[in-house]
């Protein structure tokens, strides 16, 4: 039979709305953070990154905010589109040590037309 695992946190939005996906990281020594997007049946793809000497970075329709005080990262997607539907992961890294990305559990974003 099919195994049942934990359910992912899910965010449902309407097309055109702004989406905010949150991530708490664990290592206060982490100084490099990445957001990945994983569409069904594919490997994770890079969206945007940020270093710990910044608190905000903007890309095309996406913004990442970093709050080191509370070890929190967020990804904002403007004017969300159906093609944004995917699972989003944050990853934390420590550049001074061995380069091993540690991933959060992920958030499933569902965009309704």
Q: Kindly indicate which of the ranges 13-21, 38-46, 52-60, 69-77 contains the residues binding other proteins, using the contact rule CB under 8 A.
A: 38-46
Q: Which is nearer to other proteins, 4 or 70 (CB)?
A: 4
Q: Which of 22, 49, 52, 78 binds other proteins (CB under 8 A)?
A: 49
For the chain, list the strands marked E by DSSP: 10-14, 19-24, 32-38, 45-51, 56-58, 62-67, 72-77, 86-93, 102-103, 107-112
Q: Which of 19, 44, 85, 92 binds other proteins (CB under 8 A)?
A: 44
Q: Which is nearer to other proteins, 40 or 69 (CB)?
A: 40
Q: Which is nearer to other proteins, 3 or 60 (CB)?
A: 3
The CA distances from residue 85 to 24, 47, 71, in Å, are 21, 14, 26
- Which residue(s) pair with 43 in the sheet? none
């Amino acid at each position: 039979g099919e195994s049942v695992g934990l359910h992912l946190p899910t965010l449902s939005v309407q097309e055109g709305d702004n989406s905010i996906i949150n991530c708490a990281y664990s290592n206060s020594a982490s100084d490099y953070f990445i957001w990945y997007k994983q569409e069904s049946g594919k490997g994770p793809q890079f969206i945007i990154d940020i270093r710990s000497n910044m608190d905000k970075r903007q890309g095309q329709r996406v913004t990442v905010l970093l709050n080191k005080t509370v070890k929190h990262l967020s990804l904002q997607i403007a004017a969300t589109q159906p093609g944004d539907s995917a699972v989003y992961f944050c990853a934390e890294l420590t550049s001074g040590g061995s380069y091993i990305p540690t991933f959060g559990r992920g958030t499933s974003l569902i965009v309704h037309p």
